[in-house]
Chains A and B, each alone.
Chain A
Amino acid sequence: MKRSYKMPLVTVALAVGLSSGAYAGKSDDTLNIAFDRELESIDNYYNTAREGIVISRMVWDGLLYRDPKTNEYLPNLATSFKWVDSTTLQFDLRQGVKFHNGEPFDADDVVFTLNYLADPANGAKPQNNVNWWKNAEKLGDYKVQLNLKTEFPAALEFLSGPIVMYPNEYYSKAGPEGMALKPVGTGPYQVTSVEPGKRYRMKKYDGYHAGSPKGKASIGNIVIRTIAESNTQLAELFSGGIDWIWKVKPDQAERIKAQGQFTVKNSSTMRIGYLNFDASGRHSKNPMNDVRVRRAIAHAIDREGIVKALVKGESIVVDSLCFPSQFGCTSDVPKYDYNPEKAKKLLAEAGYPNGFETPFLAYRNRDYAEAMISNLNAVGITTKFEYLKYAAFRDKVQDGASPFNFGTWGSYSINDVSAITSHFQKGTKDDYARDPEVIKQLEIGDTSVDAQVRKDAYKAALTRIADQAYMFPLWSYNTNYAFTKDVDFTPTPDEIPRFFTATWK
């Protein structure tokens, strides 16, 4: 929208607010942030939401750190690492680092953390992040060895992100319950108060180690509140109570941007949407078993139109079951253009000249689902649509009870095909294709250490998936960030806002 936009209900006060309320954040050096859901625990290993990952980057550090721009693995708590053999990693640790409670960081902390996580009885979530190594050994006060169970190419990826180091003395006393109320880490921010699920207060950690690739934080205080209702978040932004929100809906973001009093930024994410079909008959004998039907549906969906009109932002249409930046991802696979005529022909060939009715399941983006339903109606396919909450959706799909569904996957921001394609097509609970060829190729990709071998295997798998239309990739997702004009914040494509790089203008 080129014209500036006037919000019908929010009046003059916004202009007034600019001179008093809107700078409140900067004036007391506090950035007020809103999340839309309660964290089950602030302890990094006992939550699964993205919000937990965001807080984790602020409060704790890992041995390595992946640079969000170059995707390089930089040293953080470890100053160097070495592959002794394909299942053994050695680390030299940084000296002079202190935890927020004064405890010094050394090999004991690393060994304790890694062995604690390796024990399934401790129930760290998600297990996939921690179940690939056997144990860790102390080789010296600042030298550690990690023994993997088998070759695991994504090892460095995990060690530079989700795996963070805990203080052994504190954690063995306080455990997850204590950590959830009084978190202690080495990160650029330290938590000063926790009201579980409601509000988290943090302040800049002055003792943060100088060599860290994250850099020292600039903004002095951060307060995170949980506000579930999106309109309330917007109202707080407009009235000056909150300085920074994210996941703003595209239509809302557009208008806020046009209105001109807040900064709105958009960034792509690794999340992609997909359609999953019961290709193997796992659910029942139904039209989705037939590859021509699946291809017909692929031709029937106007992905480009939906992206332009509904998804917007930096989203793109995606042609293979992975996000373009992920290692092993390629779009050199069979593609399906938007062609309703071809779809109808394929359906007729498959024996459905008048279409058919099918159940259709989704858990988010109801409007995208409705747009797709409309596309399907146009080629004769009618749907019995069910819109469930995520937990119910996941259960139903993984139980084999859904022949046709629309889902999304964010790969936990892990930049590797193993985090998505293998999740869905390697004979797992979400796999309705159960193709032995695909499973074999994915297995090769997941366990080889040679980069080229991995790429070739993944390409073979992705090609077959696209050719057989086992799952139909739709588009990538994007996130809108809206914040007051006195904040300088740059989003990253992994959808993990880094507040330690944000500054006041």
Chain B
Amino acid sequence: MLYYSLKRFALALLVALTVSLISFSLLYISSDPAIAMAGETATDADIEAIRQLYGFDRPILVQYFDWLQRALAGDLGQSYYFRTNVSALIAERLPTTMTLGVTAILFAITLAVPLGVAAAIRPNSLIDRIALFLSVMGQALPSFWFALMLIVLLSVNLRLLPTSGSDTWLHLVMPTVVLGYYAAPAIMRLTRTGMLEVLSTDYIRTARAKGLRPPVVLFKHALRNAIIPVVSLAAVQFGFMLGGSIVVETIFALHGAGFLAWESITRNDLPTVQGLILVFSLFYIVLTFFADLINAWLDPRIRIN
């Protein structure tokens, strides 16, 4: 178990490094860091001076290792736009995004798992069709449209919820729904599939034959087994949420890390983007790493492979 963990951890670290290197290169190729740092009104001489001073004329790999060294020491540099520490900036904006992500995934799970179970118990029934319909809606509905529709209905017309901002928990209701419904379809379909498989196994037939009551069979035995892949998926979906939160944060004026990421990209604020990518990919990797661990713990066969 320990060896397995170490192996997975090392691999995860390697992924994080590769992702940050690729992003770094992409960023520096697609926009000139000297111009980005110098700002709008700098002259050519200013820009050249900055290029020399900060070493932007060195090969990309060299610059990357420079950045990496400092990042490992906790220094993510200074934002070109805000002129404050990137780490402080991210630390200020991240909690909003994290809170939103957690509530959204909980919402998705609360919505999707029971729906998936219900659909699996009665396949091809009305509830199965409804589940399918909702699942397609979740994939095909543009999230900004859904967000704005909710705002118009619940906030403008019915005055039930505040429109935008992040002051109270009420402000998070609509963003949670919008972000969560996007993750729900995959979780629902996986739960449904998993339950369908498990429900037709000998294991369950035995439990039923033993005379166990249906709810016990369902939850204690079937769901526990079916839920395994859902755990990994939920972790993956949570990672995606951080990316999907850009639209939600923009529309609901939640000044979180997703909004910061998009704005920083358009403002050529390279250090902030680079810092955010590192943070996001680390989160994602940690999540999948732990999901892997949970799965390995639950199912020894995975470890041996």
Query: Which residues does A use to contact B, with CB under 8 Å?
Result: 9-14, 17, 21, 38, 40-41, 46, 48, 125-128, 176-177, 196-198, 225-229, 231-232, 235-236, 238-239, 241, 389, 391-392, 394-395, 398, 429
When A40-B82, A236-B164 are in contact, do A228 and B259 touch as well, CB less than 8 Å? Answer: yes
Q: Is B148 an interface residue (CB 8 A)?
A: yes
A198 touches B255 (CB 8 A): yes
Binds A, one of B29-37, B190-198, B207-215: B29-37
- Given A10-B156, A232-B163, A126 and B35 touching (CB < 8 A)? no
Quick one: which of A48, A241, A392 contacts B164, CB cutoff 8 A? A241
Cβ–Cβ contact A389 & B157, under 8 A: no
Q: How far is the CA of A21 from the CA of B255 in the complex (A)?
A: 25
Closest 3 CB pairs of A and B: A126-B41, A227-B253, A389-B266
The answer to whether A395 touches B31 (Cβ under 8 A) is yes
Distance (whole angstroms) from the CB of B90 to the closest CB of chain A: 13
B155 touches A429 (CB 8 A): no
Contact B259 A241 (CB under 8 A): no
* Contacts A46-B83, A239-B163, A391-B268; A228 near B250 (Cβ below 8 A): yes
| Contact residues in A for B142 (Cβ distance below 8 Å) | none
On whether the beta carbons of B44 and A241 are closer than 8 Å, the reply is no
Q: Which residues from chain A contact B36 at a C-beta distance below 8 Å?
A: 391
Q: Is there an interface contact between B165 and A225, defined as CB atoms closer than 8 Å?
A: yes
> B62 in the interface, Cβ–Cβ < 8 Å?
no
Best-surrounded residue of B42, B81, B144, B163 (most CB of chain A within 10 A)? B163
B242 at the binding interface (Cβ < 8 Å)? no
B259 touches A13 (CB 8 A): no
Determine whether the beta carbon of B253 is less than 8 Å from that of A125.
no
A236 and B157 form a contact (CB under 8 A)? no
Q: Is B70 an interface residue (CB 8 A)?
A: no
Residues of A within 8 A of B159 (CB): 13, 17, 21, 239
In Å, the complex CA distance between A12 and B32 comes to 52
Tell whether B152 is near chain A: CB-to-CB under 8 Å: yes
B304 within 8 A of A: no
Find B83's partner among A11, A40, A239 (CB 8 Å cutoff). Answer: A40
Q: Check if A227 sits within 8 Å of B156, measured CB to CB.
A: no
Q: Does B285 contact A (CB under 8 A)?
A: no
Interface residues of B in 260-286 (CB under 8 A from A): 263, 266-268
Flag whether B162 is at the interface (Cβ < 8 A): yes
Q: Please, which residue of chain B has its CB at the minimum distance from the CB of A389?
A: B266
> Which residue numbers of B lie inside 8 Å of A, CB to CB?
31-32, 35-36, 39-44, 81-84, 144, 148-149, 151-152, 155-159, 162-165, 250-253, 255, 259, 263, 266-268
List the B side residues contacting A40 at CB < 8 Å.
81-83
Task: Determine the chain B residues whose CB is within 8 A of the CB of A13 once the complex forms.
Answer: 156-159
Return chain B residues, CB-CB under 8 Å to A232. 148, 151, 163-164, 251-253
Q: How far apart are the CA atoms of A228 and B258 in the complex, in Å?
A: 13
| A375: min CB distance to chain B, Å | 29
Q: Is the CB of B163 within 8 A of A229?
A: no
B253 touches A11 (CB 8 A): no
Among A41, A126, A226, A238, point to the contact of B255 (Cβ < 8 A).
A226
CB <8 Å contact, A392 and B268: yes
User: How many angstroms from the CA of A202 to the CA of B32 in the assembled complex?
Assistant: 38
Please give the distance in Å from B80's CB to the nearest CB on chain A: 9
Max chain A Cβ within 10 angstroms of own Cβ: one of B39, B43, B250: B39
The prevalent SS among residues of B at the interface is loop
A356 CB → nearest B CB, Å: 29
Query: Nearest chain-B residue to A20 (Cβ)?
Result: B159
Residues in chain B near residue A395, CB distance under 8 A: 31-32, 35, 268
Taking CB atoms, residues of chain B closer than 8 Å to A239 are 155-156, 159, 163
Chain A contacts for B83, CB-based, 8 A = 40-41, 46, 176
11 contacts between A and B (CB under 8 A): A10-B152, A41-B83, A48-B39, A125-B41, A126-B41, A227-B164, A228-B253, A229-B251, A235-B156, A391-B268, A398-B35
Report the separation of the CA atoms of residues A11 and B149 in the bound assembly, to the nearest whole angstrom.
Answer: 13
Of the candidates A232, A236, A238, the one having the most CB atoms from chain B within 10 angstroms of its own CB is: A232
The interface residues of chain A lying within 8 Å CB-to-CB of B156 are 10, 13-14, 235, 238-239
Please measure, in the bound complex, the distance between the C-alpha atom of A395 and the C-alpha atom of B164, giving whole angstroms. 34
Chain A nearest Cβ from B86, distance in angstroms: 14
Question: Which listed residue (B40, B157, B251, B255) contacts A197, Cβ 8 A?
Answer: B255
Q: Complex: how many Å from CA A126 to CA B251?
A: 31
Residues of A near B31 (CB, < 8 A) are 391-392, 395
- Chain B residue numbers with a CB within 8 Å of A197 are 82, 255
Q: Tell me which of B40, B163, B263 contacts A236 (CB under 8 A).
A: B163
Chain A nearest CB, measured from B155 CB (Å): 5
B30 to chain A: closest residue by CB: A392
Chain A residues whose C-beta falls within 8 Å of the C-beta of B151 in the assembled complex: 231-232, 235
B57 to chain A, nearest CB (A): 16
- B82 contacts A125, C-beta separation under 8 Å: no
What is the CA–CA distance of A60 and B40 in the complex, to the nearest angstrom? 24
Question: With contacts A41-B82, A395-B31 known, what are 5 further pairs, Cβ within 8 A?
Answer: A48-B40, A197-B82, A197-B255, A231-B148, A389-B266
A241/B162 contact (C-beta < 8 A), A13-B156, A41-B82, A235-B151 known: yes
CA distance A398 to B165 in the complex (A): 38
Contacts of A235 in B (CB 8 A): 148, 151-152, 155-156, 163-164
- Please measure, in the bound complex, the distance between the C-alpha atom of A382 and the C-alpha atom of B36, giving whole angstroms: 32
Q: Measured between C-beta atoms, what is the minimum distance from A429 to chain B in Å?
A: 7
* Closest CB in chain B relative to A420 CB, distance in Å: 14
Q: How far is the CA of A429 from the CA of B42 in the complex (A)?
A: 10
Q: Which residues of A contact B81 (CB under 8 A)?
A: 40
**Residue in B closest to A120 when the chains form the complex, CB atoms:** B46
CA distance A13 to B151 in the complex (A): 13
CB pair B157–A11 under 8 Å, yes or no, is yes
* B40-A394 in contact (CB<8A): yes
Interface centre among B32, B44, B151, B266 (most CB of A within 10 A): B151
A389 and B250 CA atoms in complex are apart in Å by 17
Complex Cα distance, B259 from A177, in Å, reads: 23
CA distance in complex: A404, B136 (Å) = 44
Per the bound structure, the CA–CA distance linking A391 and B267 in Å amounts to 6
Alpha-carbon separation in the docked complex, A128 to B83 (Å)? 20
B253 pairs with A225, CB closer than 8 A: yes
Considering the complex, give the chain A residue whose CB is closest to the CB of B153. Answer: A9
Q: Which of B44, B149, B155 has the most CB of A within 10 A?
A: B155
Docked-complex contact A38 and B251, CB < 8 angstroms: no
Q: How far is the CB of A103 from chain B (nearest CB, A)?
A: 25
Q: Report A43 CB to chain B, min CB distance, Å.
A: 10
Cβ-closest chain A residue relative to B252: A232
Contact A241 B163 (CB under 8 A): yes
Distance, CA A136 to CA B255, complexed state (A): 41
Rounded to whole Å, the gap between the CB of B38 and the closest CB of chain A is 10
B191, chain A: closest CB distance, angstroms:
33
Q: How many whole Å from B269's CB to the nearest CB in chain A?
A: 9
A126 to B43, CA, bound (A): 11
Shortest A458–chain B CB gap in Å is 22
- Nearest-neighbour CB distance to chain A for B39, whole angstroms, equals 7
CA A391 – CA B164 in complex, angstroms?
28
B residues in contact with A38, CB < 8 Å: 255, 263
A17, B151: Cα distance in complex, Å:
16
CB-CB under 8 A for A429 and B44, given A38-B263, A40-B83, A241-B162: yes
